Every structure is written in structure tokens, then in C-alpha cells.
Chain A
């Protein structure tokens, strides 16, 4: 369910565009940030708000890989495995995260706190290796830094 603020935000964004369909991506972004993933129910809700058929919203949504289409952990860890990061040890970092979290990439920890995935270049190549957790970037990563970050997130949770 979309929260009041999310609905208001979607309306505010949608009002600016010359055509209603342009509000699909902004609306999906708002929904994703609130819920953590997207699903049919959210497409229907968005459909009501921006008055675009739900099927068109689903059609667009399924194209974009940034929005998970099923529930994920509270923290979605997205490690870049593209070339600049890979040259600086992204694979070994992914292995380290798998070990620490006791999951394989694509999986979620049993306490639902962390989901680990790999992603393509996130535009942070000169501060590689890097990962994005929810909306935040973590750059120039080392194993020590990863330890600190996970610790910090566990405390925050």
C-alpha cells in the first residue's frame, strides 16, 4: 500500500509533465523507495493516481532492472561487477560478502536484513570497487570497510 506522502509525491511529480504517461517512471521510483520492491498491487494503485492503465505501468516497470519485482531484504546490497570494479577486485569482494552474510548472490539472509546482488556499472568507476545499498553509494571499498558498513547497518536496523 502506498502511504499518503507517497501518493502526494506522485501527484506532485505527475502534475509537471505535459503527458500523464511520463509520470510512470517517477511514480515507480516513489513506490519502490517506500516499499522496497514493485508488484501488481502497486501498479494498480499508481494507475488510479496517474490515470494510466495498470498494464502500461507493468509493461514499463518490467523493463527496468533497478526495481526488484519481489520482496528483498531491508538492505539491498548491489555490488558492481563491471570492468573498472572487476579490475580492482569486485569478484573477491562479492565472495567476501557471500561468506560474511552466509548467502549466495541473489539470496536474502534468513533475518531478512540483507539481499546480495551484482549489478552493472553504477558510474562510480574512479572510486572502485563500489556497491550501492538501497539509495546510498559506498565507494573505494576494502574488506575492512565492508565490515564496518555491515556493522553500521546491523546497528541501525
Chain B
């Protein structure tokens, strides 16, 4: 049996560690079968929560663990669960966000393809904690194989009585639906996801109300990322204190990082939060250094919507506090590395093309602004830029920042602003000389 995706992981390191846990069985295809999963203790946390803990106790445990959302925003998971109104007569819904479309990110996929029951178990515990009897996983449409894998796992879970009616004799009923998307980045944003799941165009909603109060079908709804949920069973099994002892004081736990770009050994690596970015890139256990031993030029540390870092900034801990100190963010944990022969204007051109393409069109600053930005950046990239273009680009960015319905607008401009700030000479060269500095330097076409 072989894996669907050949992606590299550090599963063997994780297996030997009693701190790392998410990727422990990621190199063993048998882990997808419920029998193996259960033999290894799987669904034990679900049984424990359901038969020996009150929902509030589960929420408290997750709060105490310090777990924060792994989908990008880093919001404390237990606190979010606590926002569901206790007295609402309406049904509640738990949704697992498996849209995974932040460029550079392929970490949720490895969980779904190689350890799907971990996600389902985490979903079930979360559903119980908020009093939900129907839970969904929203998987991006292109992940057809993942969706099949998860559906197979779900069917096994039903067959074994982990899902369905009166689970483990507790009287608790829980159903699950696997829902697939239609190829739209914005549907990863939780309110756009809700619209999409309701059969509408996947456009973001204005908040408030927040989904925890009025989400799917107007009912209290919690949306959590795959990795956040897959962490939950470990916390229930081993305790909040154990989880809290991992990582840093404010960024507890471990996290998956998708390392891609000009790197010798791209892959998904689990490390504790606070782990050194530099070590992740250069250590032979992980990235193993820059492709062809070239010089590092820059890193996008948290997915396409996070500000760039220059080589002098990479001695930084990968966590929710340290990266902002360097002007960036942890984001989804997608570390994209590029070497000295990469033109920064070209990198940004790729990114703005993406954000313009994915803008849902609901608000003008994002919809129009990203289109103007793309035009201007294309012009600069092709050597046809004019004096003042950099200022114009910067100005449009400032006019988008903080003025949009959802964070996609901010996501689009933050990397651009940082790229201008950190690599201004390259932008200027493109404009003044009508050609690329990097290409001239390295004699590239």
C-alpha cells in the first residue's frame, strides 16, 4: 500500500517523542483503518469525554490547554466554544474547516489522508462540548481523494458505533456530513464557508453576528480548523497541563508546518510552537537547507497572506508572539522559502494575481483595489512601470487595509507592503531600468 500524496513528514521523530503527537503514525498507511486506530488508543478520548465528562468540563480542559486555532487566526479554541449561548433552543452545529487553500499550506491534507479518524474524533468531542448533534467537514472540492478517505473513515466510525444514535450507551446522538466545496479560496473564511454550505455563493458575511451565535442556518455554529480539532483528542487523553507544557508560555502545543519552495527537503513537519524558523529550514531532519546550496533571499512564514522575512530575521520562534515581533504572522504555518535568484516583484505578482482572482467581490476596496494592484504590479514587473508607481501601490494598499468585510483584503496587501519595505531597491530597479535586478545580477533570462 502506498500513500496518495508522497509528501515527506518527520513521523519517525514524532514517534520517538512523548511531546510531539500529531504525525506519530503519518508514515503508516494502516492508521487509516479504524481497527488500527482503536488498537492504538483511538476514540479513547471520545469515550472518555462522552461517558465521564460534562460538556463544560471538556470546554474547560481545552481552555486550560492553551490550544489556539491552527487555521490562521490563532483564536483560543476553548474560549470560542464557550461563546455558544447556553440557553439557545436552536440546534447547534460544529464545522470542521478543511478548505485548506492558503497558498503554501498542505498540512490538513496530511491529517485527512493519513490519520482521518484523529480529525473525526476531535470533531466529535468538540460537537459534544457545544451540544451539537450534527457536524460537518467542509473539504475543498479539489481534494476528492481526501474526501473519499474521510468518508470511508466516517462510515467505519458509524459501523463501530462511534457515531450515530446513543453512542457508547450515553444517550448522545451525533451525525456527520462530509461536504465538498467548489474551488474558491474565500470559502475557507468561516462566514463565506457558511454561505457556501447553505448553497449560496461563497461570499463573506458581515459580523456581528458571529457564527457562534448565528451561523449555519442562523443557528449557533463553531468553525474550527482540521489541525485544531485533531489536537483535541490528545489534550483530552493526556490532560491540559501536559499540552500546556509544550511550546511556549503563550503559544502552547505543537503545530504542523508545511515547508515549500526552494528547499532541499520540502514536507510537513510537526514541531513545538516556538521552534526556530532557521532550524526548520536548515536542519537535515527538516528542510536540510536551500536548494542547490544557493543563498536564502526571503521567507513567507505563514502562508501567502503573511508579511515576508529577510534572512537576517529568521532567527525567530515559530509562534503567535515571536513572528509579529518581526512584523509577520504565524498564519497557517506554511513556510515558503525562496533563494537569491528570485525576483521579489515576480513573487508579489503571483500573490496579487491569486488574491485578485479569489476576491469574492462583496466589498469595493478589496474587489477594485486588488484589480488595480494587479495591473500596477504587472506593469512594474514587465519593466513598464513609471516613477510614482511604488507610492501608488503603497497608497492603494493602505486604502484596503482595515476597510474590508473579511480579512482577505488585509491578507492581499500585507505581503505587498512588506515586500516594498524590505526589498525597495528591486522595485525601483524595475522602474528605473525597465528590467529585473536579479535577472541582471545572475544572468537569467
Chain A residues within 8 Å of B, Cβ to Cβ: 16-26, 28-29, 52, 56, 59-61, 63-67, 81-84, 86-88, 119-128, 132, 135-137, 139-140
| A88 vs B181: C-alpha distance when bound (angstroms) | 27
| A92 vs B242: C-alpha distance when bound (angstroms) | 48
Judge whether A83 and B350 touch: CB under 8 Å: yes
Judge whether A82 and B103 touch: CB under 8 Å: yes
Closest to A128 in B: B260
Closest to A57 in B: B199
| A122 vs B101: C-alpha distance when bound (angstroms) | 7
Judge whether A67 and B182 touch: CB under 8 Å: yes
Could you say which of B196, B258, B304, B350 has the most chain A C-beta atoms within 10 Å of its C-beta?
A: B350
Q: How far is the CB of A120 from chain B (nearest CB, A)?
A: 5
Residues of B within 8 A of A86 (CB): 350
Answer yes or no: B152 CB below 8 A from chain A CBs.
Answer: no
Closest to B259 in A: A126
- Cβ proximity bits B124-167 to A, threshold 8 Å, 1 near / 0 not: 00000000001000001111110000000000000000000000
Judge whether B103 and A21 touch: CB under 8 Å: no
Answer yes or no: B289 CB below 8 A from chain A CBs.
Answer: no
Closest to A61 in B: B182
Judge whether A121 and B103 touch: CB under 8 Å: yes
Judge whether B109 and A21 touch: CB under 8 Å: no
Q: How far is the CB of A132 from chain B (nearest CB, A)?
A: 6
A–B Cβ pairs within 8 angstroms, 6 of them = A19-B198, A20-B199, A25-B141, A25-B181, A67-B182, A121-B104
Chain B residues within 8 Å of A, Cβ to Cβ: 4-8, 91, 100-106, 108-109, 134, 140-145, 175, 177, 179-185, 196-203, 217, 258-262, 266-268, 300, 304, 334, 336, 338, 342, 347, 350-351, 354, 357-358
- Nearest first, the 5 closest Cβ-Cβ pairs linking A and B are A64-B182, A66-B183, A21-B199, A24-B199, A121-B103
CB contact between B201 and one of A63, A120, A140 (< 8 Å): that residue: A63
| A119 vs B6: C-alpha distance when bound (angstroms) | 21
Residues of B within 8 A of A122 (CB): 142
CB contact between B101 and one of A21, A24, A123, A126 (< 8 Å): that residue: A123
On whether A84 and B109 interact (CB within 8 A), knowing A17-B177, A123-B142, A126-B267, the answer reads no
Judge whether B350 and A81 touch: CB under 8 Å: yes
On whether A126 and B199 interact (CB within 8 A), knowing A65-B184, A82-B354, the answer reads no
| A135 vs B149: C-alpha distance when bound (angstroms) | 14
Q: How far is the CB of B294 from chain A (nearest CB, A)?
A: 12
Closest to B347 in A: A83
Q: How far is the CB of B178 from chain A (nearest CB, A)?
A: 9
| A60 vs B217: C-alpha distance when bound (angstroms) | 17
Q: How far is the CB of B38 from chain A (nearest CB, A)?
A: 25
Closest to B257 in A: A126
Residues of B within 8 A of A84 (CB): 103-104, 260-261, 336
| A26 vs B143: C-alpha distance when bound (angstroms) | 14
Q: How far is the CB of A75 from chain B (nearest CB, A)?
A: 15
Q: How far is the CB of A92 from chain B (nearest CB, A)?
A: 11
Judge whether B184 and A64 touch: CB under 8 Å: yes
Judge whether A87 and B181 touch: CB under 8 Å: no
Supplied contacts A23-B199, A64-B181, 11 more A-B pairs, CB within 8 Å: A20-B199, A21-B199, A25-B179, A25-B182, A28-B182, A123-B100, A125-B104, A125-B334, A125-B336, A126-B267, A128-B260
Judge whether B258 and A126 touch: CB under 8 Å: yes
Judge whether A120 and B4 touch: CB under 8 Å: no
| A88 vs B144: C-alpha distance when bound (angstroms) | 24
Residues of A within 8 A of B217 (CB): 18-19
Residues of B within 8 A of A61 (CB): 182
On whether A137 and B350 interact (CB within 8 A), knowing A82-B103, A124-B106, the answer reads no
| A16 vs B5: C-alpha distance when bound (angstroms) | 30
Q: How far is the CB of A89 from chain B (nearest CB, A)?
A: 11
CB contact between B134 and one of A18, A23, A121 (< 8 Å): that residue: A18
CB contact between A127 and one of B7, B179, B201, B354 (< 8 Å): that residue: B7
Judge whether A25 and B5 touch: CB under 8 Å: no
CB contact between A83 and one of B197, B200, B336 (< 8 Å): that residue: B336
| A63 vs B143: C-alpha distance when bound (angstroms) | 18
Residues of A within 8 A of B357 (CB): 120
